[in-house]
Amino acid sequence: MDTAARAIFFVALILVSLGIYFLPSIIAWARETAWTGAAIVINIFLGWTLIGWVVALAMAVSGTPRES
């Protein structure tokens, strides 16, 4: 594998990893639940721990979305 292919693979790996890391924040923002702000804060500061990530994900998918 040449250098350019390795760089593209590395960038793609980083982007996929960031997408998975911020998945609870993305879901909370898209659903606009009452816990959106808290889920995003927990995801940013505690998402690196598995428990923090799971808590943020649970907050993002729980409850009903806000009425528009």
Domain presence at residue 55: yes
- The residue segments making up the domain with residue 60 are 21-68
Q: What's the pLDDT at 51? A: 97
Over residues 3-32, the mean pLDDT reads 96
Could you tell me if residue 33 is inside a domain? yes
In whole angstroms, what is the distance from residue 68 CA to residue 61 CA?
18
State whether the Cα torsion 39-40-45-47 is positive or negative.
positive
The total of structural domains in the chain comes to: 1
The answer to the question of residue 11 being in a domain is no
pLDDT per residue as tens digits for the range 35-66:
899 999 999 999 999 999 999 999 999 977 77
- 4 within domain boundaries: no
Contact (Cβ atoms closer than 8 angstroms) between residue 25 and residue 60: yes
Can you give the pTM of this predicted structure? 0.85
